[in-house]
Amino acid sequence: MKTTFKILCTGSLLSMLLFSACSKSDSEPSVDGTDGATLKNAKYVFVYTAATAGVSGTYIITADDVNQGSVSSTNNGVESDAYSFILQNNKVFAQAYTDQGPVTPFGLNAEGKVVKAGNVVTTFRTGVYGTVNDDAWIGGGDPRRNGVGELFRFDAKNLLLAGKSTTDMKAITQTGANAVWTGLFQVDNKIYMPYFKYTPPASATAPFTQGVYGSLDSTWVAVFSYPEMKYEKTISDDRTGYVGNWFSMQGLKQIENGDVYTWSTAPEINGVKSTKPSGIVRIKKGTEVFDKSYFFNMEEIAGVKIARGAYIANGKFLMALYAGVTTGDIQGGRVKMAIVDVNAKTVTYVSGIPEHNQPLFKLNTYYEEDGKTIDYVFKDDNGQNYVYVINAETATAKKGLYLEGATDITAISKLKY
């Protein structure tokens, strides 16, 4: 990390500021243009893990185009020791998965280079996170062992913690088990947090796999107020399984008309199978109850289970559907990509994308905001990471940018400068 900073702050690049080793003059535009500068350019930004000589490192790198070419961490971007990456307010917030959970903001300077965009802020280890409006994001702690749900609100404009709350997760389930949240999503002026029920192992040092999961046959979504982040109620349904998976940050989305859709794998965990089908359920705008008139039974319509999902537009999702009987939770199983229309209840497999191993935690995608195009990056069977540019209207994809030397990609977005 120190080497990367030194390279970016020497020679002709000495004027690249916002690093702790560099200085910034009052006449230079800020990273995000909040001083009135007009941001006319943009670059794709990837969080990229690579291994050199057996040593693994994580980098934030850029590319001008995802349709073609190649990029690598060599002379491109900065190194980071973070694990989670939150994309908000034209910045990448890099957060370490440690007890102190320090957060470091990064952005693009006037030359389109990745630079540190503010001071490091201490938080705590987060298991879930999600953006709110265009100026904030919320991080949630890990309640699996102690049943204490901590939330913090991060002001993404002023780059500081703006609020905290604590919730008794056993009070949410009212069963003695902990509610363990699997994602955090804004719905109107509330925060929706899907969860599963979990009783930790008696030994504090035992692995989480030795804990006991509650029913796999229901969907639960906890509703929290915003900005107070206080628990209000639970929305539940018993037609499919629980939503998301630990650290997935996927499984729920409010679409343009205000309706909310959740999708469930109806998983098998520790040898225990859900008896319910994998499917999609709906919460109509403003109702805070599941709509009993709507059920998209994926196993009945497509004969498969849902693995992952990401929203595109106009009621269409890009979904990874299991390609065989072997399914996974956080990881495992083979998937095929499909365009799933929740309005028409149709499934159309995407041509041009090979079957591949299920991505870890979530799909790494970027929606181009044109009503149809979504960029999806994944590791193929040769261990290579490529971006596939997908047209949701035609359900076709083209192989694009090659991320050379990457062992994994954990985020893709686009930042302006």
Reported as a single tens digit per residue, the pLDDT across 209-257 is 888 999 999 999 999 999 999 999 999 999 999 998 888 889 999 999 9
Residue 187 maps to a domain: yes
Terminal alpha carbon distance of the chain: 23
The pLDDT value given to residue 15: 30
pLDDT of 173 > 70? The answer is yes
Mean pLDDT estimate for the chain: 88
Residue 130 maps to a domain: yes
Range with the poorest average pLDDT among 11-15, 115-119, 272-276: 11-15
Domain that holds residue 209: 126-260
Counting the structural domains of the chain, the total is 1
Residue 362 maps to a domain: no
The pLDDT value given to residue 57: 86
15 vs 75, residue with greater confidence: 75
Alpha-carbon distances, residue 100 vs 96, 125, 141, 143 (angstroms):
8, 6, 11, 16
pLDDT of 127 > 70? The answer is yes
pLDDT of 411 > 80? The answer is yes
pLDDT of 91 > 90? The answer is yes
Alpha-carbon distances, residue 18 vs 118, 120, 138, 392 (angstroms):
7, 12, 24, 39
Determine the Cα–Cα distance for residues 224 and 228; give it in Å rounded to an integer: 8
> CA triplet 82, 85, 88: central angle to 5 degrees?
140
Residue 237 maps to a domain: yes
Q: What does the pLDDT look like over 386-401, one tens digit per residue? A: 999 999 999 999 999 9
H or E stretch at 300: helix 298-301
The pLDDT value given to residue 41: 95
Residue 185 maps to a domain: yes
Q: In what order do the strands lie in the sheet with 91-95?
A: 84-88, 91-95, 103-108, 114-116
Sign of the Cα pseudo-torsion (142, 143, 148, 151, in order): positive
pLDDT of 1 > 70? The answer is no
Residue 165 maps to a domain: yes
The pLDDT value given to residue 50: 87
Residue 156 maps to a domain: yes
Residue 171 maps to a domain: yes
pLDDT of 17 > 70? The answer is no
Percentage of residues of the chain with pLDDT beyond 70: 89
Ramachandran bin of 16, using left for φ above 0, alpha for ψ from -120 to 50, beta for the remaining angles: beta
The pLDDT value given to residue 33: 46
pLDDT of 291 > 80? The answer is yes
> CA triplet 93, 94, 97: central angle to 5 degrees?
135
Residue 263: CB partners within 8 Å, gap ≥ 6? 243, 251, 252, 278, 279, 280, 281, 298, 306, 309, 317, 319
Alpha-carbon distances, residue 207 vs 14, 100, 104, 244, 247 (angstroms):
48, 22, 30, 20, 16
356 vs 1, residue with greater confidence: 356
Coil vs helix vs strand at 370? coil
The pLDDT value given to residue 54: 64
Determine the Cα–Cα distance for residues 98 and 101; give it in Å rounded to an integer: 5
Confidence grade of residue 21 (pLDDT, cut at 50, 70, 90): very low
The pLDDT value given to residue 76: 82
268 vs 407, residue with greater confidence: 407
Summarize the confidence of residues 269-290 as an average pLDDT.
93
Other Cβ atoms less than 10 A from the Cβ of 147: the count is 21
Confidence grade of residue 97 (pLDDT, cut at 50, 70, 90): confident
Q: What does the pLDDT look like over 33-44, one tens digit per residue? A: 444 457 899 999
